[in-house]
Amino acid sequence: MLEEEIRRFLQIALALNASVGQRTGVEPLLSTETYDYGFPAPAWDWEEIGRQIEELRPAISSFPAARAGFLADLTTSFEMMAREGQGDRVPYAERVVAYLQVPGERVPQATIAALAEDLRGLLVAEGYADDLAIALPQWIERRSIRGEALQTLAEELMEQARTTTNERIMPLPAEHRVELSFPKNFPFNGYSAYKRDYRGTVELNGDIGWHIPALKHLVCHEAFPGHQTFSALRELRYRQGLIPVEGTLYFSNTPITPIVEGAAEIGQELLGMVKTADDRLFDVYNRYQSACATNLAFDCNADGKDQETAVREYMALTHVPRGQAERRYRFWSHPLWQTGFPHYWYGREFMQECYQRMAADVPRFVEMIYTEPHTVRTLREAVLTA
């Protein structure tokens, strides 16, 4: 009986992947290249998907508590996807809460102001002007790298991060290989794609000059101990029979993603690689950028702020070039990614809190994150409210 319901759950996931992909232009189930579930996506319309979810819901309580909690939380996200697919016009904040289990609200202005003040103080301590509009571009330019030196440094950083991940997180499969490249005309700053058999790619934007502290952070985020590590260890545990099949799903717009993105955001800290003044500066700057972008995502998706106004405001707040601001706008306004976008800010803050709470037992913390199926709610209950 339980296996029949798991099959139904997977069928719903595959049907949603196809239907959401058609609606938004991007398929949200990011693990289909890694796992073969033994059957194709059912050709269900939105009404049938909704009916299947409705029939699945009462059966979830029959599962052991840990599995039931995970399944129930993903099913809540699936219900919202079905509502959207059937034409319901659900407010942005309500969708964010249902999908991600994070607050459906903007970052408080007091938090952003405090981050800006911290950033200003760190820059002044390094000899820069007491003006973010002057100091930030100067700091970024003085720490930038291009050309062949960029590829060489990125590969060195990735190998350092891989070695430290093996030592401080947990051993990676020996055959795990990651191909690093810098493609041109690339829509993202960075993107990790995991295949199967412990193979993956990390692509970093080849059209921009990279700021070295940002490069270091993003290598950790996309590769080690971030996305590539998460995917390789999940595949390994599944092959070993140590996680149930639903634990293989990596589905956008579900409460899995704040955990994965949040862990990737603090990945450099997990490796003990936040060592220099530049590292500390970028950590604050990254949080500041994320907070500003999160609020603009709410402005655009909840209140209808137009592209030009949003891009100009982001440039004025963060002092980034127009091209970078436009890439961020396209990300937070994309039909699929818009509701997932708050997982960067809220996921990072949540995972930082969990990590600090479990500082005395880091091995258990990384075991929970990398090898156990969790949602924001189940991890919060296990770590913060236990």
pLDDT in tens, the chain (386 residues): 679 999 999 999 999 999 999 999 999 999 999 999 999 999 999 999 999 999 999 999 999 999 999 999 999 999 999 999 999 999 999 999 999 999 999 999 999 999 999 999 999 999 999 999 999 999 999 999 988 899 999 999 999 999 999 999 999 999 999 999 999 888 888 999 999 999 999 999 988 889 999 999 999 999 999 999 999 999 999 999 999 999 999 999 999 999 999 999 999 999 999 999 999 999 999 999 999 999 999 999 999 999 999 999 999 999 999 999 999 999 999 999 999 999 999 999 999 999 999 999 999 999 999 999 999 999 999 999 97
Other Cβ atoms within 10 Å of 38 Cβ, number = 8
Range of the domain at 287: 109-383
| DSSP for residue 171 | P
Instruction: State which of 56, 90, 124 marks the end of a domain.
Output: 90
- Cβ distance 166 to 301 under 8 Å? no
Beta strands 210-211 and 190-194 are: unpaired
Q: How many structural domains comprise the chain?
A: 2
Residue owning tokens 């193979």: 199
Same domain, 224 and 308: yes
Residue 208 is predicted with a pLDDT of 82
In a domain, 95, yes or no: no
Same domain, 212 and 349: yes
| Nearest by Cα to 230 from 180, 270, 189 | 270
Same domain, 242 and 189: yes
In a domain, 78, yes or no: yes
In a domain, 99, yes or no: no
In a domain, 189, yes or no: yes
Residue 187 is predicted with a pLDDT of 86
Please state, in angstroms and rounded to a whole number, the distance separating the CA atoms of residues 236 and 186: 31
pTM over 0.95: yes
Same domain, 74 and 184: no
Exposed e or buried b per residue across 108-130, where buried means at least 16 C-beta atoms within 10 angstroms of its C-beta: eeeebeebbebbbebbeeeebee
Instruction: State which of 90, 124, 146 marks the end of a domain.
Output: 90
Residue 1 is predicted with a pLDDT of 60
Please state, in angstroms and rounded to a whole number, the distance separating the CA atoms of residues 126 and 116: 16
In a domain, 38, yes or no: yes
DSSP E strands in 88-218: the ranges are: 144-145, 177-181, 190-194, 199-204, 210-211
Please state, in angstroms and rounded to a whole number, the distance separating the CA atoms of residues 86 and 384: 36
Same domain, 196 and 250: yes
> Angle, nearest 10°, between helix axes 277-303 and 343-357?
130
In a domain, 262, yes or no: yes
Same domain, 80 and 155: no
